[in-house]
Structure 1
């Protein structure tokens, strides 16, 4: 397959000081980067599609680097992550699944071989479709304070023959996390879960 044909990038950063409780001294940063690319499989069924995952690896690394930069430039400050894809209507859900490996491994590499699986979601939709991307702690999926999500979308995409590929990162827990469970400072780092 040829290199992905990129139409546009969209980067968003939220600065969250409070959710109705006391304001934090420093905001939680929650950011996303989206690449809208041409879907090389749009318009028909193709039995073999997995080779495109390798072609997406450089794009995954570029997007992960862009997002770390947008969130302040220091990968050590990133505590949460997630990924997703919105497939245009001439594609199929499986085309969004092509993003699992290149998107997830890119973030794990940029963040110092993070241990936890990168949560993910995908859907088929029209331009303007919104997607809730799940977020968990980068080193332990059971850290309840970091269970979060970021809503993302592209006003004019994905078009029918496109895919919007998404990465999300956060710099901490939900701003008023207080429902117990494993704490970030209790992570053992053995299996990506605890």
Structure 2
């Protein structure tokens, strides 16, 4: 399979001090790591694309480590995650699906014992396209307080023959989460759902 040709990387970190109501004791930190890479399948249909997932695995691990470092470097501080891809117009949605394994397993590996599936989304779009990446708790997808989204995108990406790959991590629940459901303190950790 082809080498990964990276055009640019970006890491964005938000620190949320207030959402109305009382300020939290600890601010919420949310971050995204974005990579713009050449799409080796742009402009043509290729039946067997799965091998590129193996090529992306070390890259996914590197990107996850960079994001974790930007959020303070402590895997135990991360409570939520998600991933996504924007495929340029000369590609197809399935090319974005190649990020599922390398992006998801990379975050689960560096976070240690994360049990929940990594929420994901993808779309085809041109430069400046925005993508709302869903976020869920790292150990139980049904923890309602951690249902969130992080919008990503870059002004000049993806070009038609590129893909923008993204990882998202958060350090906690939405500030003032209070709509019930399974709490993080109630996680059983049996199946990644509850």
TM over 0.5: yes
TM-score of the aligned structures, taking structure 2 as reference length: 0.98
Structure 1 counterpart of 2:44: 44
Q: Is residue 2:97 matched to residue 1:101?
A: no
* 1:3–1:56 CA contact under 8 A, matched in 2: no
- Give 1:41-190 correspondences, 5 Å limit: 41-190=41-190
1:113, 1:57 → 2: CA distance? 18
For 2:9, the equivalent position in structure 1 comes to: 9
Describe the superposition over 1:63-83 as per-residue Cα deviations: whole angstroms up to 9, x where unpaired.
110000000111110000000
Unaligned runs of 5+ in 2: none
Distance in 1 of aligned mates of 2:160 and 2:19: 37
Is the contact between residue 88 and residue 162 of structure 1 (CA under 8 Å) also seen in structure 2?
yes
- TM-score normalised to structure 1 length: 0.98
Extract structure 1 runs of 4+ deviating beyond 4 A. Answer: none
- The offset of 1:25, in angstroms, is 2.4
Distance in 1, matches of 2:84 and 2:192, equals: 20
Alignment partners' CA distance in 1, 2:124 and 2:2: 23
- Structure 2 SS opposite 1:108: helix
Shift of 1:178: 0.4
Alignment length, in residue pairs?
A: 194
1:123 counterpart SS class: strand
**Structure 1: distance between partners of 2:128 and 2:10:** 13
Deviation at 1:162, TM superposition (A): 0.3
Root-mean-square deviation (CA, aligned residues, Å) is: 0.7
List gaps (5 residues or longer) in structure 1.
none
CA contact (8 A) 2:135 2:168 kept: yes
Q: Give the Cα separation in 1 of the matches to 2:43 and 2:172.
A: 41
1:114 aligns to what SS in structure 2? coil
What CA deviation, in whole Å up to 9, does each residue of 1:20-58 have, x standing for no partner? Answer: 222112210010000100000000111111110000000
Q: What secondary structure sits across from 2:149 in the alignment?
A: strand
> Residue 3 of structure 1: CA displacement?
2.3
CA distance in 1, matches of 2:99, 2:3: 14
